[in-house]
C-alpha cells in the first residue's frame, strides 16, 4: 500500500462521512450563524469597541466576531472529526486504520488533514453567507485567510486527536464540550477583545492569552486584513506540534491496546 | 544620467500634501492632518475652546472661533502663528465666510445676534438680531443670502447680505445646529439635533421640500441627533453627522432617502471633504479622533487620534 492510496482513502472516507451527514453540516453552519444574526445583532450597540490592530477604524460587533466565528466552525468541526475516531474505535474501523503498514504519524496526519479540509469547506460556506449578509472583506483578505484557517483547523484537529486517544466512549463527548470546547471558545478573543476582558477580569485575560484558540483566532483576524500576526502564528504552530505529538504518543499501540473496554485494540 | 534626472525630478517635486485642520475643543489647539499619509503633522495652540474653523478661498488664512476667548483668530497655516484677532461678539461658535472672502458672519450664541465682521478692516460691520441661541451658519454660493439657525427658537433666519435684514424665517424641528446650501444654491438643508431630522428647503421660495428622518438598527432613536451636513462635490449625495449615534448618514440628494449609514467614532460633529474630493473627514468629539471615509466606496478606511473633543474641521489645499 502506498502512502498516497492510504491518505486518499482516509480523506475520501472523511468527506463521504461529511457529505452523508447533512444534519452535521447544517448544525455546523447554524451554530455560527445564530451567533452572527442573533447574538451579535443584540450586542452591537452594547459593546463599544476601541480601535485595536488589525483594525484601522471603528467596526461593528459583527465585523469583530467574524474571525472568531470562523474559529468556532473549525473548533467544532475539528473536534467532531477527530472524535469520530472514538466511534471508529467502538465499531472496529480504527483497527483497520491503525493496522495499515504505514507510520502511525502518517495515518493520523492524513486523518487530521481530512478533518481540516472538511472544516475549511464549512468556513467557506459560512463566509459566503456572511458576505451575503453584508460582512465583506477585501479579496486579498479572503485569500490570506486560507492558510491561517488551514493552520487553525490543523491545530484544533490535532487537539481533538490527542483527546480522542484518551476517550473510550462516544458519550464522553459531552464532557469534551463542557471542559474543552466551551472554555476554549469563551476564554478567547473570539467574542470580545482582550482589553475588554482585562478591564473586567484580569485572571480570565491571562487564561485567554495562554489559550491557543485565542492565537488561532487572532491569526485568522489579522490575515483577514492582509496582515501577519507573527506571535499568533508562532503560538498556533507550536500548539499544533504539541497536540499532534500528544496524539501520536496517545495512539501508540502500547497505550491503545489496553483500553478499559478492550475495544481499542490496534494491532500495529 | 537617468538616475541623475530621476533624482533631480524627485527633489524638485514639492512633497506638498493637502491638509485637514481640526479644532480640539478641550485642548485649545488645532491638529493638522496630512491627507496623503493620514497622520497628524502638526498641532498649534489657539484661544480657548476652539470650535468653528474655516479657510480663505486661497487657503492662505485660517479663521478659528475661539468661543471662550470671545474672538475669531486668524492663523497663518504655514507657521501656525495667530496673526491677529477679529472682533466677534460674545461666545462665537460657528461662522461662515462670504464667497468673496470679505465678510465673516458669526453666530453669537449668548446674545442672540449674528455679527458681521469685515476681515480686511477687522471691524464689525453690523449685528443682526436673530432667534435665541444662534448656531448654524450658511451662505448661498452666490453670497446673496446668509442663513442663521437659532437653537432655541427653532428657526432658520434668511438674511439678505446686501441689506443685512432678515427676509424670511422658517420653522424647523427642535435645536437646529447646522445649515448648508447645496452647491448649486437651489436648496438649503438644516439639521435639528433634538428633533432628529433634517429639513430641506427650496432656497428661492424658502418653502419646505421635505424632511429626512433616520433609523439605525440597534441604536436608540433618541441618539440619532443630526448635526453637521456636507454635500458631495457633485451634489448628488449629502452626508449628515448623527452625533451620539456614531454614524454618518449618506443621503441621496434627489430622492432624500438615506442610502446607508457609516460607522465612525463617538459623537460625530462636523465633516470636511479633502481638496482632491476623494475622502470625507469626520470629527468624533467623545472618542477624540477623526474618521476618514473613502468617497468612492463609502467605507471608513482609518481613524486618526487627534486632541480632546475635536469639533470643527476644514480642508486646505496647499499648492
| B176-214 pLDDT, tens digit each | 999 999 999 999 999 999 999 999 999 999 999 999 999
Residue A99: domain span? 3-257
- In a domain, residue A54? The reply is yes
Give the per-residue pLDDT at B150: 95
Contact A47, A61 (CB under 8 A): yes
- In a domain, residue A177? The reply is yes
Q: What is the mean pLDDT of residues B167-172?
A: 96
Give the per-residue pLDDT at B226: 97
- In a domain, residue A106? The reply is yes
Nearest to B91 by CA among B125, B48, B56: B48
Contact B67, B93 (CB under 8 A): yes
Radius of gyration of the CA atoms of chain A, in A: 19
Confidence of residue B165 (pLDDT cuts 50, 70, 90): very high
Residue B168, beta-bridge partner list:
B158
- In a domain, residue A67? The reply is yes
Radius of gyration of the CA atoms of chain B, in A: 19
Chain A environment of B218 (Cβ under 8 Å): 41-42, 44-45
Give the per-residue pLDDT at A53: 84
- CA B121 – CA B102 distance, rounded (Å): 9
Confidence of residue A256 (pLDDT cuts 50, 70, 90): low
Give the per-residue pLDDT at A49: 64
| A6-60 pLDDT, tens digit each | 777 777 777 777 777 777 778 778 888 888 888 777 666 555 566 788 888 888 8
Give the per-residue pLDDT at A19: 74
Give the per-residue pLDDT at B16: 63
Per DSSP, the residues of chain B read -HHHHHHHHHHHS-----EEEEEETTTTEEEEEETTT-SEEEEEE-SSSEEEEEE-TTSS-EEEEEGGGTEEEEE-TTT--EEEEEE--SSEEEEEE-TTS-EEEEEETTTTEEEEEETTTTEEEEEEE-SSSEEEEEE-TTSSEEEEEETTTTEEEEEETTTTEEEEEEE-SS-EEEEEE-TTSSEEEEEETTTTEEEEEETTTTEEEEEEE---TTS-GGG-----EEE-TTSSEEEEE-BTT-EEEEEETTT--EEEEEE-SSSEEEEEE-TTSSEEEEEETTTTEEEEEETTT--EEEEEE-SSSEEEEEEE---
Give the per-residue pLDDT at B163: 95
pLDDT at B147 over 50: yes
Confidence of residue B246 (pLDDT cuts 50, 70, 90): very high
Give the per-residue pLDDT at B89: 80
- In a domain, residue A233? The reply is yes
Please provide the average confidence, as pLDDT, over all residues in chain A.
Answer: 83
Residue B96, beta-bridge partner list:
B105
- CA B176 – CA B197 distance, rounded (Å): 9
Distance of CA B272 to the CA centre of its chain: 7
Residues 6 or more apart whose CB falls under 8 angstroms from that of A238 comprise none
Give the per-residue pLDDT at A26: 81
Closest residue of chain A to B261, computed from CA coordinates: A60
- In a domain, residue A133? The reply is yes
**In a mutagenesis test of the B interface, which of A40, A58, A226 is the best target, namely the one with the most B β-carbons within 10 Å?**
A58
pLDDT at A1 over 60: no
Please provide the average confidence, as pLDDT, over all residues in chain B.
Answer: 92
Q: What is the pTM of this model?
A: 0.82
Confidence of residue B128 (pLDDT cuts 50, 70, 90): very high
Q: What is the mean pLDDT of residues A173-201?
A: 83
B302 vs A: CB within 8 A = yes
- Domains of chain A: total: 1
Give the per-residue pLDDT at A257: 53
Q: What is the mean pLDDT of residues A162-168?
A: 81
Confidence of residue A259 (pLDDT cuts 50, 70, 90): very low
Contact A196, A208 (CB under 8 A): no
- In a domain, residue A265? The reply is no
CB contact under 8 A, B300 and A48: no
Give the A:B interface size as CB pairs under 8 Å. Answer: 31
Cell of B253: 440628494
CB contact under 8 A, B301 and A58: no
pLDDT at B162 over 90: yes
- In a domain, residue A98? The reply is yes
| B42-72 pLDDT, tens digit each | 999 999 999 999 999 999 999 999 999 999 9
| Alpha helical stretches, state H, chain A | 3-20, 22-34, 40-43, 61-91, 93-98, 104-133, 139-164, 173-176, 182-186, 194-200, 202-210, 212-224, 230-250, 253-257
CB contact under 8 A, A48 and B264: no
| B80-126 pLDDT, tens digit each | 999 999 998 888 889 999 999 999 999 998 889 999 999 999 999 99
- CA A34 – CA A30 distance, rounded (Å): 6
pLDDT at A260 over 60: no
Name the more confident of B164 and A173: B164
- Please determine, for the modelled complex, whether the ipTM score is greater than 0.95: no
Amino acid at each position: 500500500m502506498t502512502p498516497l492510496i492510504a491518505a486518499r482513502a482516509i480523506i475520501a472516507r472523511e468527506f463521504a462521512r461529511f457529505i452523508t451527514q447533512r444534519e452535521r453540516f447544517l448544525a455546523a453552519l447554524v451554530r455560527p450563524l445564530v451567533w452572527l444574526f442573533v447574538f451579535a445583532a443584540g450586542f452591537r450597540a452594547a459593546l463599544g469597541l476601541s480601535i485595536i490592530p488589525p483594525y484601522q477604524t471603528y467596526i461593528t460587533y459583527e465585523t469583530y466576531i467574524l474571525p472568531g466565528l470562523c474559529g468556532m466552525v473549525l473548533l467544532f468541526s475539528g473536534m467532531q472529526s477527530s472524535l469520530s475516531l472514538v466511534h471508529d474505535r467502538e465499531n472496529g474501523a480504527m483497527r483497520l486504520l491503525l493496522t495499515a503498514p504505514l507510520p502511525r504519524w502518517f495515518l493520523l496526519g492524513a486523518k487530521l488533514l481530512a478533518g481540516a479540509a472538511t472544516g475549511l469547506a464549512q468556513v467557506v460556506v459560512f463566509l459566503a453567507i456572511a458576505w451575503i449578509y453584508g460582512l465583506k472583506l477585501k479579496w486579498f483578505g479572503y485569500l490570506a485567510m486560507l492558510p491561517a484557517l488551514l493552520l487553525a483547523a490543523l491545530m484544533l484537529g490535532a487537539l481533538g486527536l490527542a483527546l480522542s486517544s484518551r476517550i473510550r466512549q462516544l458519550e464522553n463527548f459531552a464532557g469534551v464540550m463542557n471542559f474543552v470546547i466551551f472554555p476554549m471558545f469563551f476564554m478567547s478573543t473570539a467574542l470580545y477583545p482582550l482589553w475588554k476582558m482585562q478591564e473586567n477580569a484580569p485572571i480570565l485575560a491571562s487564561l485567554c492569552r495562554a489559550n491557543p484558540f485565542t492565537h488561532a483566532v487572532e491569526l485568522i483576524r489579522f490575515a483577514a486584513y492582509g496582515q501577519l500576526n507573527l506571535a499568533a502564528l508562532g503560538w498556533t504552530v507550536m500548539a499544533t506540534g504539541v497536540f499532534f505529538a500528544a496524539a501520536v504518543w496517545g495512539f501508540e499501540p502500547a497505550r491503545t491496546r489496553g483500553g478499559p473496554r478492550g475495544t481499542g485494540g490496534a494491532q500495529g | 544620467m537617468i538616475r541623475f534626472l530621476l533624482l533631480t525630478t524627485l527633489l524638485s517635486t514639492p512633497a506638498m500634501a493637502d491638509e485637514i485642520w481640526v479644532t480640539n475643543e478641550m485642548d485649545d489647539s488645532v491638529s493638522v492632518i496630512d491627507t496623503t499619509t493620514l497622520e497628524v503633522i502638526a498641532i498649534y495652540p489657539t484661544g480657548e475652546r476652539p470650535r468653528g474653523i474655516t479657510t480663505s478661498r486661497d487657503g492662505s488664512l485660517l479663521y478659528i472661533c475661539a468661543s471662550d476667548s470671545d474672538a475669531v483668530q486668524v492663523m497663518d497655516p504655514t507657521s501656525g502663528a495667530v496673526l491677529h484677532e477679529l472682533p466677534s461678539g460674545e461666545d462665537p461658535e460657528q461662522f461662515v465666510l462670504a464667497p468673496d472672502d470679505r465678510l465673516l458672519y458669526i453666530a453669537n450664541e449668548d446674545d442672540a445676534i449674528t455679527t458681521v465682521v469685515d476681515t480686511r478692516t477687522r471691524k464689525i460691520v453690523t449685528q443682526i438680531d436673530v432667534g435665541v441661541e444662534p448656531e448654524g451658519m450658511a451662505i448661498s454660493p452666490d453670497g446673496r443670502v446668509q442663513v442663521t439657525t437659532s437653537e432655541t427658537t427653532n428657526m432658520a433666519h434668511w438674511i439678505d447680505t446686501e441689506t443685512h435684514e432678515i427676509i424670511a424665517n422658517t420653522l424647523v424641528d427642535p435645536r437646529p445646529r447646522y445649515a448648508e446650501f447645496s452647491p448649486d444654491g437651489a436648496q438649503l438643508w438644516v439639521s435639528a439635533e433634538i428633533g432628529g431630522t433634517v429639513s430641506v428647503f427650496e432656497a428661492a421660495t424658502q418653502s419646505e421640500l421635505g424632511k429626512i428622518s433616520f433609523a439605525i438598527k440597534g441604536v436608540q432613536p433618541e441618539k440619532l441627533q443630526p448635526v453637521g451636513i456636507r454635500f458631495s462635490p457633485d451634489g448628488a449625495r449629502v452626508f449628515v453627522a448623527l452625533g451620539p449615534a456614531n454614524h454618518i448618514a449618506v443621503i441621496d440628494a434627489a430622492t432624500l432617502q438615506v442610502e446607508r449609514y457609516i460607522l465612525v467614532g463617538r459623537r460625530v460633529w462636523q465633516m470636511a471633504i479633502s481638496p482632491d474630493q476623494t475622502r470625507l473627514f469626520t470629527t468624533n468629539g467623545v472618542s477624540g479622533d477623526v474618521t476618514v471615509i473613502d468617497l468612492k466606496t463609502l467605507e471608513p478606511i482609518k481613524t486618526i487620534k487627534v486632541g480632546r473633543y475635536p469639533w470643527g474641521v476644514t480642508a486646505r489645499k496647499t499648492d
